[in-house]
Amino acid sequence: RPRRELKRPRRTPGRTEGAEQTLRLRISELLHLDQTIGLLSWDEETKMPPMGRIQRGEQLATLEGLRHRMLTADDLGDLVEEVAQQREDDAHWMRELTLLRHLRRQSLAVSEELVRDLAKAKSRSLGAWEDAYATNDFALFAPAFEKLLELVRERAITLARGDDPYDTLLNDYERGMSRSRLDPVLADLKLKLVP
């Protein structure tokens, strides 16, 4: 999957009336998408009947694709830089913009196709795991799990850009964590747990 070209905002940030309100609206829309994705994922894991899995995977892929498109839109990059210029002395805004830039950089690095494929693969593997667990048959889970791992690795390698892909995966759950920081902790824990 070809990477999207990373680029700076297309225009020089200037003073536009209402930039903050526009950016707040965009952030709110992204949060609403995140919440909806979370709710559908929760429903998939708790209440949804098995026959709805394929459709739910498609629904989540659509929402994840929409979220990806919103994060990678050029005008969002312009808005972020414009508000950063206007609010450079506001620590709260700068922290929020730092987090938004991070999300945007990650989204720009991967394709929408990969984002959608991952959403579908998560749904398929969840359903396969439930079937495998119910019958105590790992073979039912293995193909879906292999596909999910393949896509997770592809995303990690893409985001790592030559660094350790595992660090990229750790960073998804614990910002700034790396294998070099975690290995000594796990080695120490192993020495105490194994005996």
Average pLDDT for 98-108? 95
Counting residues of the chain whose pLDDT is more than 90, the rounded percentage is: 83
Average pLDDT over residues 55-79: 96
pLDDT value at 176 more than 90: no
Which residues 6+ apart lie within 8 Å of 158 measured at CB?
Answer: 1, 3, 109, 110, 114
Burial grade of 115 (CB within 10 A; 0-12, 13-18, 19 or more): buried
Q: What is the pLDDT of residues 113-136, one digit of tens each?
A: 999 999 999 999 999 999 999 999
* Cβ-based burial of 185 (10 A; exposed 0-12, middle 13-18, buried ≥19): exposed
CA distances from 126 to 6, 50, 82 (A): 33, 10, 42
* pTM recorded for the entire structure: 0.83
pLDDT of residue 50: 81
